[in-house]
Structure 1
Amino acid sequence: MLFIDLVNIISREFCSAKDVYYNILQLFGIAGLGAMVRPLGASVFGHIGDRYGRKMALTIAILLISIPSSLVAFIPGYSRVGITSTILLFAIHVTQGIALGAEQGGSSVYLIEHLSNKKKLGMFFGIISFGRSIGVLLFVMIVIICKKITDFNAWGWRMPFTFSAIWGLMSAYSIYTLGETPAYEKNREQRNLPNLPIIELVKRYKRALILAVLISVPVNVAVGFTIFLRTIAKEIVQVEMYVTTYVNEIVLIITSILIPISSIALGMLADRVGKERIAILFIIITIILCCPMLSIAYYYKSYLIIMLSVMALSIIERGINPIGIVASELFPPNVRFSGVSLSRNISFALHGGFTPMICTWLTITFPQINFVAGLYIIFCLLISLIAILQIKSQDKNFDW
């Protein structure tokens, strides 16, 4: 979240190009390379999660995400140490990328397996989103306070990163106290833990893995497109920094309120009419809207309009989110942590991590086609749509 909101400042601080677009492109490239190691992290932590327990894998992963994030606050800028600052930032992204290979997919598995009423998974995912929104609100409050009491553009932007370690320790402790999942405990008692979960996964569940990779694309692409929109907004519209600051804060606060409401409502709807149907509907909505959003942004050059588009995309993404539950249903418990983590992170490495960079490159390369980035998003979503339609009832494994 911090990286997304402060991408313009971070790109200026740690990258060498004089042109702002190329600075952003460099930073997105670093983030994309960090994303490429996620499948490696998913393989390593998937082995730990399926072999030694979900709790152990997630606790280690969360600490490896939060502690390096706090170190960003102490990296000298490019103007002081040159390329060393870029390398240090890259090292942090790689470390976090490996850990994120477990955290995102693994946390879904951990929470789903703890839930007793599996018919309410959609609503439960909405409640999880509510918790994340509280985190976003806390982040917004910290950033607002730092902007008020520090020279934010010069050095104050570093301060919010120092809170990451505290947040990580709190999250790790909550997982430690919640304990292991019933599904893992059952497998351990039955001695049904594979020696090499990744080998078992690739050998016996190829179809499930391919489907899970493809159906994970929409959420990753939507997040990447949102990051791209938020980043280029400040370059499309040449306004004073204080204007973008206040608009950002207002939009973030409103979004943090609307997202949990829409997540719970759409989750309940997904429980009633089907997770795939809701996801398909919102994928089609995204396909229809992404090109017009870009055209309107470039035509009106209104920062508020762009940020409202970002807010709309964030809410639309909640409608696509239930498809993540389907990915968990495709794998049995003995390889579920590996299957969900690996599929989600292969998808992220191929699409989510590089989507902002690809969209930025397309915008630079084809400036005469202002909606060209939207065409890439449509292409990715159409592939995923075909994959979702291929899922059959026999593909799902409901052994929770």
Structure 2
Amino acid sequence: MSAEDVVEKFETDFREDEKTAKNFIIYLEKETGEEIEKLTGKSSSIVSGVVGNIMEWYDFALYGYMVPIISKLFFPGQDAIVSIMATFAVFAVGFIMRPLGGAIFGHLGDLKGRKFTLYLSLIMIGISTSLIGVLPVYANVGLLAPALLVLLRMIQGLSVGGEFSSSVTYLVEEAPNGYRGVFGSIANIGSMVGMLLGSIIATGITSILSEQTLYAWGWRLPFFLSALLAVFGIYYTSKLPESHMYLRNKRHEATLPLKEVMKKGKRELVSGILFSMGYAVLFYLPLVYMPTYLNTVAKIDMSKTLQITTLITFILVFFIPLMAIISDRLIRRKKLLLGAFIIALIVTIPFFSLVMTKNYILIFAIELIFGLIIAVPLGIAPSMFVELFPTNFRLTAYSIIYNVGLGIFGGSAPMISTWLIKTSGNNLAPAYYLCFAVVLAIIGLYLMKDRSREPLR
């Protein structure tokens, strides 16, 4: 009996009050055997969720860490700040494309399944990132070089807009009872491992290769690694079973999921977008932008700033699941998140002031505290977003929340911070911007309902 036949039979044989997710899982296991497997018994599902996000975020983080080099190769100019602004503008272009990617892939994922969108997005980002490694630079082809870079960044953004939300939705829908936070955090563990890998590679080539070799061809090497990661991720994604929650609701799917979101989930959508805006800036300024900030403003050697960021990212990998476990077992997600963001609001301006001292131990301690604060939303936010919406338009809604927040605020945060410093002459301008974003996140959390102890709808 096919999975679709089981869905039909389940709808016929069970009363409305018996049509729970738990009963449906038991029924599927009984009727289909190996045809539909639970995530707890299929390691390829977890591996795919991790590997896909490793690749996606390796690619995005790598560009962020290589900004000082890329700016000179693709946007040469006498004013280093202007060149960096232009390079971060291209970084932001990828994020601006993410809401469009989220809308497209979210729609496809709610209609055709989570596996389909994961597969397609991995192929797109693997190809686009590998091609960045073979681009000609400005000295060879002039304006065509940055134009091609923008095009590939747009494709990257489009595909990331679909991959992350699809993988999180899949993992949380397949999670055992009481472990949705942990399974949702797997996606962000993959993201942090990807950022860690990007940081290690960027640190390695800037530390080992001579400046002449680095600018001649060494900068291309990290982008070629994306092709290997893509092959690995696509292989494991091809082995995934479809989400049981998606199959359970297939007969009741909305032909226009976006219309359903606007009709039935407007409050959740607004609160989620506000929260994701602050979450994005809190993530990108202390982690991705900080090495460039310390290098250009505090005049600290780039290789040393990358070493600090790499170590903090490594530590984060272990704290993300810990925060998820706490939210599953001890403290409800909303309370834990509010506490973290209030602390961030208190410490941001003093911390940005202290990094100007150029004391490496102090900078490491500040980055570590920021990292521990960031670990809270990284571990909790994925499952919290998924829990806000019912299955038939869940992926569409989550994709919009995640990608609008990160696309508008997260991706543009480094560029806006650099511009604020340039126009105001105040090196603490990024700290004020971060505080503003954190306040938005707190407002969003206040409006949001915590469904962490309720079954998925």
TM-score (norm 1): 0.90
Does 1:232 pair with 2:293?
yes
**Counterpart of 2:221 in 1: which secondary structure?**
helix
CA separation in 2, counterparts of 1:20 and 1:253? 24
1:353 corresponds to 2:411:
yes
- Which 10-residue stretch deviates more, 337-346 or 198-207? 198-207
Letter in 1 for 2:302: T
Gap change, CA 1:348 and 1:135, over 3 Å in 2:
closer
Structure 1: which 5+ runs fail to align?
Answer: none
Equivalent position of 1:63 in the other structure: 123
Q: 1:288 deviation in Å? A: 1.5
Count of residues in correspondence between the two structures: 391
- Is 2:249 the partner of 1:187? yes
CA distance in 2, matches of 1:88, 1:359: 25
RMSD: 2.4
**Which residue does 1:325 correspond to in 2?**
383
Residue 70 of structure 2 corresponds to which residue in structure 1?
A: 10
Structure 1 window deviating more from structure 2 (387-396 vs 87-96): it is 387-396
CA–CA distance in structure 2, aligned partners of residues 101 and 344 of structure 1: 8
**How many angstroms does 1:230 deviate by?**
1.6
- AA partner of residue 39 (structure 1): P
Alignment of 1:110-259 (within 5 A): 110-117=170-177, 119-140=178-199, 142-143=201-202, 146=205, 148=208, 151-188=213-250, 191-226=251-286, 227-238=288-299, 244-246=302-304, 248-249=306-307, 251-259=308-316
Please report how far the alpha carbon of residue 219 of structure 1 lies from its aligned counterpart in structure 2 after TM superposition.
Answer: 2.3
Contact 1:38–1:100 (Cα < 8 Å) also in 2: yes
Aligned-pair CA distance for 1:167: 0.6
In structure 2, how many angstroms separate the alpha carbons of the residues matched to 1:183 and 1:60?
21
Q: CA deviation at 1:396?
A: 9.5
Overall identity of the aligned pairs, in %: 28
- Aligned pair in 2 of structure 1 residues 304, 8: CA closer, same or farther (>3 Å)? farther
Amino acid in structure 1 at the alignment position of 2:349: C
Partner SS, residue 398 of structure 1:
coil
Corresponding residue of 1:339: 397
Alignment of 1:359-370 (within 5 A): 359-367=417-425, 369-370=426-427
Contact 2:272–2:448 (8 Å) recurs in 1 = no
C-alpha deviation, 1:49, in angstroms: 0.2
Inter-CA distance 75–397: structure 2 relative to 1 (3 Å threshold): farther
Which runs of 5 or more residues in structure 2 are unaligned? 1-60
DSSP-derived class of the 1:370 partner: coil
Distance 1:285 1:393 in 2: 20
1:394 deviates by: 7.9
Residue 304 to residue 238, structure 1, CA distance change in 2 (3 Å): farther
CA distance, structure 1, for counterparts of residue 446 and residue 144 of structure 2: 47
Match runs of 1:46-85 below 5 Å? 46-85=106-145
Measure the CA separation in 1 of the matches of 2:248 and 2:183. Answer: 23
- Structure 1 residues 397 and 198, CA gap change in structure 2 (3 angstroms): farther
> 1:360-398 deviations in whole A, cap 9, x for unaligned?
11111122x332221111111112201211223589973
Equivalent residue, structure 2, for 1:398: 455
- Cα offsets for 1:309-334 (capped at 9, x unmatched): 44432332111221332211111001
**1:268-287: CA deviations, max 9, x gaps?**
22221111111111111211
CA gap 1:264/1:34 in 2 versus in 1, 3 angstroms: closer
Letter in 1 for 2:161: G
2-structure distance, mates of 1:153, 1:304: 31
Tell me by how many angstroms 1:349 deviates.
2.1
Q: CA deviation at 1:61?
A: 0.9
Asked if the contact 1:229–1:306 (Cα under 8 Å) also holds between the matched residues in 2, the reply is no
Matches of residues 274-293 of structure 1 in structure 2 within 5 Å?
Answer: 274-293=332-351
